[in-house]
Chains A and B, each alone.
Chain A
Amino acid sequence: MRAIRWLTCTLLLVFVVPLFAEPGHIIRPSDLMDEPYRDAASLVELKAGDSVEIIKRKGGWLKVEAAGQTGWVRMSKIRKGKAAAKPTSGSEAKGVLDLASGRSGTGNVVAATGVRGLSEAELKEAKFSASEMDKLESFTVSGQQAARFAQAQKLAAKELEFIPAAER
């Protein structure tokens, strides 16, 4: 029994904990808020490179532990994983970016290294498959069917405008 209990504890530690908290880091200065709202009170100001433990997400907010406190930070200010290095002021986002992509100083070129995945080779050999296309088209559902599917989970359509690119 004791062995089983030990095993259970170990399994909990190894497999369950990471589901609830995982390391992350701040990429741009950001307030740790006491609630997931823009006008909530700020608990402390976090700096780029600060480590956090991500607990959960609610919409665009992540609940985190940071600087000994628990609060909420905009998802856009956090990245998962530990900070690779301390960024320098003024270019924190770019610094993190270069590290994340394993490159530095390469500008806006989309990475073209390491292209050896199976897919590319497969695509070059690709021939139209009539039988697979028939199958694909056989699974098509009507708008009415999809609407019923949505209603089953109380998904309701909303009117929303598209959003413009961020100003730079």
Chain B
Amino acid sequence: MRSRLLLALFLVMGTASAQAFDFGGLIKEVTKQPESASADSQQQSKQPSLMGLLGGTPVEEEIAIGREIAGRLLGASPLVKDKKLQQYINNVGTWVAGQSGRNDLKWHFGVIESDDINAFAAPGGYILVTKGLYKRLRNEAELAGVLAHEIGHVIKQHHLKILKQGQLIDIGGSLLKQKVGGGGKGQAIGKMIGSGAEILARGLDKNAEYEADRIGVVLAARAGYDAYALPSVLQEIGHLSADDNSVSLLFKTHPHPEKRLLELGDAMDAHADRFEEGKIVAERFYRLQKDKKAQ
């Protein structure tokens, strides 16, 4: 639940040219999609190129931006060294993301070494959950719900949209001039890091969070999971004190879980017939053992 990673197109300006992305290798999903999801997908593909600077398609840009952002987060908090855990979260996440209509993306999921309770979505399908949050989950449906919320941010391009706004666009403009004028990409990125890192700790508009919650429960239900697992997680997190260090960033960047529960609860109750039968999948849920550092 969370997601704040946006950041930077700028990154891309510097790195996309230097890194060889295998965009042609993007897999074509075979999973059957609901019609509504296909419509979502078509809508996405009509989006104009975000920057038009990379010489790539909008999707390529989206992925390049997200990859840089996610890689930076991994630089701060590496993946938990547990191959089975990482494979597990990719299976759950990819199955849920397969219901989103964004089958033009290759989705990546990971659990990172942090006791904070949080989850992050970067454009292009990069989603990272902290170990602190993962440990609080009780079954696969709850994990699916958390991931589905983040997938909601990606498919609605909440972070990309923010990059088009306000101060960020100004920075982007100056970076563009710099690039055109022959300024080094390292310099441009350096400038960006100077002011841009804090962007990871910024929040989206609260309505974007409520929207991601509503999308999340539907995606989880589309995938066959109990849709009420996400609000259950919010109930548990809402229980934690705002003074608890492990949720300080989450609470700073998101509406309080209590507000999210009110918004989501009413939205779901109005369509309760859609969420009747879903699976919890408790037995298969991959549990982290206490103090398990590696495997």
Point out residues on A near B: beta carbons under 8 Å: 38, 57, 59-60, 74-77, 79-81, 93, 96-97, 100-102, 108, 110-120, 122-130, 132-133, 135-137, 139-147, 149-150, 152-167
Q: How far is the CA of A93 from the CA of B259 in the complex (A)?
A: 9
A128 CB contacts on chain B under 8 angstroms: 15, 68, 71-72, 74-75
A154 to B263, Cβ gap below 8 A? no
B29-67 CB mask vs A (1 if < 8 Å, else 0) is 111101110000000000000000000000000000001
A74 CB contacts on chain B under 8 angstroms: 265, 269
Give the top 6 A-B pairs by smallest Cβ distance, nearest first: A76-B265, A166-B266, A155-B224, A132-B74, A146-B94, A159-B34
On whether A139 and B87 interact (CB within 8 A), knowing A146-B31, A146-B94, A155-B95, the answer reads yes
B224 to A158, Cβ gap below 8 A? yes
Q: How far is the CA of A137 from the CA of B118 in the complex (A)?
A: 21
Interface residues on B, range: 35 or more
B79 to A132, Cβ gap below 8 A? yes
A102 to B263, Cβ gap below 8 A? no
What number of residue pairs across chains A and B have CB atoms under 8 A from each other? 269
Q: How far is the CB of A145 from chain B (nearest CB, A)?
A: 7
What is the chain A residue whose CB lies nearest that of B75?
A129
Chain A facing B: main interface SS? loop
On whether A132 and B75 interact (CB within 8 A), knowing A108-B206, A154-B279, A160-B34, the answer reads yes
A161 CB contacts on chain B under 8 angstroms: 36, 218, 274
Q: How far is the CA of A139 from the CA of B94 in the complex (A)?
A: 11
CB < 8 Å: which of B78, B203, B275, B281 contacts A60? B275
Q: How far is the CB of B248 from chain A (nearest CB, A)?
A: 4
B201 to A123, Cβ gap below 8 A? yes
A117 to B246, Cβ gap below 8 A? yes
B249 CB contacts on chain A under 8 angstroms: 115, 117, 119-120
